[in-house]
């Protein structure tokens, strides 16, 4: 079993839809949870950085962490064609080397 599981998609939605992207994990030591957006042939861009459980909102993006279920989500409201990209979740423990473990990424396509 992989430490971090993420559905690779692709996920196609119409413009304006609410998008839900998810990751599950198995390591209960993970305390930091990140979401990155990666456009084709570009480096990953940090969208959200959260610690422990709860919600965090930034503009059209909301990150949710449920540590009891080992499940994290990223919601995108009013999705735009410019949101079409691969979304990567990443996690790390709160001690040691703080090594990031990434999911495989979910490819999202927002149709105009």
Partner 1 sequence: EAGVAQSPRYKIIEKRQSVAFWCNPISGHATLYWYQQILGQGPKLLIQFQNNGVVDDSQLPKDRFSAERLKGVDSTLKIQPAKLEDSAVYLCASSLVEGNEQYFGPGTRLTVT
- Contact set with partner 1 (CB under 8 A): 4, 6, 8, 32, 34, 36, 41-46, 49, 88, 90, 92, 94, 97-100, 102-105
| C-beta of 75 vs 102, nearer to partner 1 | 102
Gap between the Cα atoms of 22 and 106, Å rounded = 9
Pick between residue 42 and residue 77 the one whose CB is nearest to partner 1.
Answer: 42
Question: In this complex, which beta carbon is closest to partner 1, that of residue 4 or of residue 108?
Answer: 4
Q: Which residues contact 25 (CB under 8 A, 6 or more apart)?
A: 3, 4, 5, 70, 71, 72, 91, 101
């Amino acid at each position: 079993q992989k430490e971090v599981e993420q559905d690779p998609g692709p996920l196609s939605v119409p413009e304006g839809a609410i998008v839900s992207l998810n990751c599950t994990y198995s390591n209960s030591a993970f305390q930091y949870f990140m979401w990155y957006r990666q456009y084709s042939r570009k480096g990953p861009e940090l969208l959200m950085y959260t610690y422990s459980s709860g919600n965090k909102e930034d503009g059209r993006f909301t990150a949710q962490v449920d540590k009891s279920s080992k499940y994290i989500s990223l919601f995108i409201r009013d999705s735009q064609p410019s949101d079409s990209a691969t979304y990567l979740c990443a996690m790390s423990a709160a001690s040691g080397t703080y090594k990031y473990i990434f999911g495989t990424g979910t490819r999202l396509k927002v149709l105009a």
